[in-house]
Amino acid sequence: MQSTAWYTSLVLILLLSAIFIFVLRRSRDSGDAAEVARRAYAPRSKLFALALAAGVIITVVTLLPWPHQLQAGAGIDRVVEATARQWSWSLSEDRAQVGERIEFKVSSEDVNHGFALYDPDMQLVTQIQAMPGYINRLQHTFEKPGEYRILCLEYCGLAHHAMTASFTVSPN
């Protein structure tokens, strides 16, 4: 998912940069302003329609299934309660098996924190906010065994960066 974001952005950034450079290289030439405007503005509404259509399609595709996946307890193999406080996590359980569907019930005893699950290669696999007075539910199926880390991803004060815990996923 991260690389999708990176390459999509990179391609679009390079494309837009190319357009700017193309125009810049002709900025010292002389041309008729009215003619330039007429030709440049003609495709604009088509582009707008195109971008709009792309937006609608991407929205539908990326929101189905709903990213917070909340099929009310359906198929949940294990529930883990994760409670944040400045500056530590307490987990009702700290291990699971590959293939199990886990529901983390995430909450906080003091300020806002962020519950982020990092895989053994320190890639962020999923996250949810930890908030006082609310329980945020996060569902995840582990695909790789190993030592996962939980990091705090919402700034919560002096030891924010040190607020970590580990979570072990064993092969089944």
Instruction: Return residues touching Cu ion (CB under 5 A).
Output: 113, 152, 156, 160, 163
Q: Is 12 in the site for another protein (CB under 8 A)?
A: yes
Inter-residue contact 148 to 116 (CB < 8 Å) = no
Tell me the site size for another protein, rule CB under 8 A: 76
Provide the mask over 48-87, with x wherever binding to another protein is found by CB under 8 A and - wherever it is not: x--xx--x--xx--xx--xxx-x---------------xx
Closest residue by Cα to residue 115 from 58, 153, 158, 144 = 153
Return the residues of window 105-144 that contact another protein according to CB under 8 A: 110-112, 114, 116, 118, 122-129, 131-138
Q: Which does 136 bind (CB under 5 to 8 A by kind): another protein, Cu ion, none?
A: another protein
Q: How many CB atoms lie within 10 A of CB 14?
A: 10
> 91 — phi, psi (to 5°)?
-115, 135
Q: Is 150 in the site for another protein (CB under 8 A)?
A: no
Q: How far apart are CA 82 and CA 111, in angstroms?
A: 14
